[in-house]
Amino acid sequence: MKIVIASDHAGFRLKKILKEHFSEHEFIDVGTYSEESCDYPDYAILAGEKVVSGEAELGIVICGTGIGISIAANKIKGIRAALCFNEYMADMSRRHNNANVLALGAKVIDEDLAIRITDTWLKSKFEEGRHERRIQKIVKIELLK
């Protein structure tokens, strides 16, 4: 699977860990490439664009809490970024919400939990059915101006 991955400086270390742990997947790393201070919206945009264009099937974005980068990613039409703090949230975000971007907070969860969350998220599949109707309502919200 081709996955775009992005982080700000706070998420840089966790990004490297996830890429190494899930090396069976092809990653498109759009930055950042160091722990030098930078702005998470810049990387949320780069990751979101890769998902929306189809260049990547899914995306993972990481900042200190996951909050800022998930808010920024969700501003991109077509992105459904889910900030997950446990495996249940990761599973449900895919099964019921068809999340196409996983957001993680590197300062609020440990590395082992981040790996478990990511593993669950990557293995979970959208259930469709009644959930598709709800996703279509979200899409309509994106069209509001």
Catalytic sites, residue numbers: 63, 96
Q: Residue 141, Cβ neighbours under 10 Å: how many?
A: 7
SS (H, E, C) the chain: CEEEEEECHHHHHHHHHHHHHCCCCEEEECCCCCCCCCCHHHHHHHHHHHHHHCCCCEEEEEECCCHHHHHHHCCCCCCCEEECCCHHHHHHHHHCCCCCEEEEECCCCCHHHHHHHHHHHHHCCCCCCHHHHHHHHHHHHHHCC
Q: Judge if the upstream peptide bond of residue 65 is cis by omega within 30 degrees of 0.
A: no
What gap in Å lies between CA 94 and CA 101, rounded to an integer? 9
